[in-house]
Amino acid sequence: MTSLPVVRFLDRTTPPHILTLVLISGISALNMSIFLPSLAGMTQYFKTEYAIMQIALSGYLATTAVLQIFVGPLSDRFGRRIMVLGSLAVFVGATIGAVLAQTVETFLFFRILQAAVATCMALSRAIVRDIVPQAEAASMLGYVTMGMALVPMVGPMIGGALDQAFGWHATFVFLALAGFGVMALCYFDLGETLSTGGLSFSEQVKGYPELLRSFRFWGYVLCSAFGSGAFFALLGGASFVADSIFNLTPFWGGVALGAPAIGYAFGNFLSGRFSVAMGINKMALIGTIITLCGLSVSTLLTLTGIDQPLTFFGFCTFLGLGNGMMLPNVMAGSISVRPHLAGTASGLGGAIMIGGGAGLSQLAGSILTVETGTLPLQLLMLIVSLLAMLAILFVIWREKQIA
């Protein structure tokens, strides 16, 4: 017997349909990944350098990191509905601006403005917590986050196919239409779900010192930052690798970018299946070891002269698999260190994780050249993955010291 509320599709006097929540989380993930196969071509179009064009990813991630801190308190103050609709309206306008941009500076301005849609990713989880009891929330969140897991697999393929057929502008036209469609759906289906406010931003800030003094919190957050940083570094350099080093078409570049997402989805499954029995620390450690092993083999193959698209992108599946096992567990760990500050820990931890990813993605784009091949990117991913493993080992050691 459950207490799930009655839901009527396209009736905003009832809670939103699960499809609406999946789409508002999915549009955020789509916006991050769909244009990646076009990065090299866009560099040529705007007559700039790849490292400059790559700000379209790193700048977007940096803005998303800042939003992670403010979105929760703002939605507690003004409501979920107005925040979702407002962010989607900004996103659609910014996407149209990106399509019409004639200079790289103008394009990057509108691209970073597109980060407003990251609000939807954060609030989709908050809305679930608003409308269902805690016992059912985990199950419902599994469906909602499915969009975030599946979109990175197909998004680059869609973007690559559109680029190959019509040019990179078509990708952003598609994004604008998708954003408008999701906004219309939210207008008719998403009513206000907030009944009581959470912590204000000032109240969250008051909890920062207590969190930042916790060594375990730092261990979990650094593990997530370094582990996901390897993936963001891959995103930052993958387009250059696919286009300039391996000479792949935008479509096949998009297919190659789907490899880590396949591993990530399977890692999430394993995490859901075994984390309770094995414990979050052990599961996270196994995830970091899997990532490290896969990237080590990939790097060794490159050093021995075996440098092919299949080996490079194929072994990136292990990066996704390891992150799929590690990330849910260290994120759960970071918010359990101080349970009374769970919301603050989630926002601060997410900001540190994505902010670190922004820096690593920009670094990846700046160190790659045709002459160096893929090796600098592989070494960067390998080093930060090692740091992720050391971070979770520190947490395990720390807990033994406290016990």
Indicate if the pLDDT at residue 8 is higher than 80: no
Indicate if the pLDDT at residue 403 is higher than 70: no
What is the average pLDDT value for the chain, to the nearest integer? 85
Region 243-270: mean pLDDT is 85
Q: Name which residue leads in pLDDT, 161 or 204.
A: 161
State how far the Cα of 376 lies from the Cα of 299, in Å rounded to an integer: 10
State how far the Cα of 66 lies from the Cα of 169, in Å rounded to an integer: 28
Both tokens assigned to 71: 């979105």
pLDDT at 1: 41
Locate all alpha helices (DSSP H) within 167-308, ordered by sequence: 168-189, 201-212, 215-240, 250-257, 259-278, 280-303
Q: Determine whether 230 is exposed, middle or buried from the number of CB atoms within 10 Å of its CB (0-12, 13-18, 19+).
A: buried
Which residues are CB-contacts of 101 (< 8 A; sequence separation ≥ 6)?
A: 107, 110
Q: Which domains does the chain have, with CATH numbers?
A: 14-198 (1.20.1250.20), 200-403 (1.20.1250.20)
**Cβ density class 313-337: b for 16+ within 10 Å, e for less:** bebbbbbbbbbbbbbbbbbebbbeb
pLDDT band for position 338 (50/70/90)?
Answer: confident
Tokens 């991913």 belong to residue: 381
Region 298-306: mean pLDDT is 92
Q: Are 344 and 204 in contact (CB under 8 A)?
A: yes
> Nearest 5°: CA angle at 242, between 112 and 379?
85
The SS3 call for residue 300 is helix
Query: What are phi and psi for residue 91, nearest 5 degrees?
Result: -60, -45
Tens of pLDDT along 70-115? 887 777 778 888 989 999 999 999 999 999 999 999 999 999 999 9
Q: What is the pTM of this model?
A: 0.81
State how far the Cα of 130 lies from the Cα of 191, in Å rounded to an integer: 12
Region 2-14: mean pLDDT is 67
Q: What share of the chain in percent tops pLDDT 70?
A: 90
State how far the Cα of 302 lies from the Cα of 83, in Å rounded to an integer: 47
